[in-house]
Every structure is written in structure tokens, then in C-alpha cells.
Amino acid sequence: MSDQDRLTTITVVEPNLNADAIDAKVAAICGTRAHDCVLLDGEPNQSIKTVIKNYLIGQAEDDTYIDFTCVGNRGLNVGNAVDGDNYLGTVAQNMIAMKKLNVIFVP
């Protein structure tokens, strides 16, 4: 990330997630880099992927271009399989499979 770039983190707030701590954690990681911390409320009958997708589409319509989306494997439900089969969480899987979206997976 260069000095003129801006990092935006997008988090869909789930019941077991401490939303108050997210902004502080992102700020601590980014330091002096330009960043935004977007917290989205989950929508009834919509997957987390759909909530994020709708946000990204809205950003494109507002002429706020997003170069790429980076997803990781750390979510509330990752690592619950005894055999380690679910290394990649379902939200990350769904985001990677989304059409017309440049995605980088960071394990």
C-alpha cells in the first residue's frame, strides 16, 4: 500500500462480534495510513456475502471505485471442524466465487 492509497475494511456485524473494538483495532494496524472502517448491519434473510456485495455495488454507483477485495480465513466459525477441513470460511469462499470481483485471499 502506498502513501496515497486508502484502505477500507468492511465488517458485517454478527451477534458474537464486538463492534466497538473493530475501529480501534483497524486504526492500530493501519497506523498513520489513510483508512476507513465500515461496519454493516446484517440484513434479515441475506447472507454476509450479499450484504457486502450490495455495499460494493453501492460504492461503484457512487463513483467510489474499489480496486480489489481482500478476504481472509478468520471468521466466527472458522476452525470448528475437527479435521481442519474448513480452513477457508464460507464468507471467504462466497466472496472468491463472486463474479466480476477481483479478490485476493490472504491465509
Tell me, yes or no, whether 89 lies in a domain.
yes
Domain extent for 95: 6-106
Rg (CA), the chain: 14
User: pTM of this prediction?
Assistant: 0.66
Confirm whether 80 is domain-assigned.
Answer: yes
DSSP string across 5-71: -EEEEEEEE-TT--HHHHHHHHHHHHTTSEEEEEEEE--TT--HHHHHHHHHHHHHHTT-----EEE
pLDDT at 71: 67
Q: What is the pLDDT at residue 78?
A: 44
Give per-residue pLDDT as tens, 6-19. Answer: 888 888 888 777 87
Instruction: Show Cβ contacts of residue 68 under 8 Å, excluding neighbours closer than 6 positions.
Output: 102, 103, 104
Residue at 11 is within a domain = yes
Name which of 62-71, 79-88, 97-106 the model is least confident about. 79-88
Give the chain's domain count. 1
Q: Is 18 within a domain?
A: yes
Please report whether residue 65 resides in a domain.
Answer: yes
Look at residue 1 and tell me if it is in a domain.
Answer: no
